[in-house]
Amino acid sequence: MKIFGIIVLGITIMLGMPWVFVGNDFFLYRYFAPRREAVRRQVFEQTKSYTESMNQELVNMRFQYEQAAPAHRAALRSLILRRVADFNPADLSPDNRDFVSQLRSER
């Protein structure tokens, strides 16, 4: 009976250890993953390609805004302002910065 108890305890430990390690890994991942992703996003938003693509997109949106009928300009204004809301204004080109400030003043 003592040997049977030791065997059952050994099997329980062998099956329980992976569960402990996987559970621990899950809790560590749950804690660190959002912070790691936030750092990745912050680094991405500071890259040259991100700022250049945002400036190019604003040039395209500005062209669409200037070509749009007056009825559509309000929707485009809202879309453009929402798009640049989290973007650092210092990273905008001077023309785009003036355009965004003009849109903000039209509200």
- pLDDT tens for each residue of 29-54: 888 889 999 999 999 988 999 999 99
Mean pLDDT of all residues belonging to the chain: 88
In the prediction, which pLDDT does 102 show?
92
Q: Considering the entire predicted model, what is its pTM?
A: 0.65
Residue 19 has pLDDT above 80, yes or no: no
Q: Are 9 and 52 within one domain? A: no
Average pLDDT for residues 86-107, to the nearest whole number?
Answer: 89
> What pLDDT, on the 0 to 100 scale, is given for residue 99?
93
Task: Give the structural domain span for 96.
Answer: 48-106
Q: How far apart are CA 80 and CA 76, in angstroms?
A: 6
DSSP 68: S
Residue 89 and residue 100 in contact, taking contact as beta carbons nearer than 8 Å: yes
Q: Indicate whether 39 and 58 sit together in one domain.
A: no
Same-domain status, 4 and 24: yes
pLDDT at 79: 93
Whether residue 55 sits in one domain with residue 100:
yes
Nearest to 57 by CA among 10, 6, 99: 99
Residues 65 and 36 both lie in one domain: no
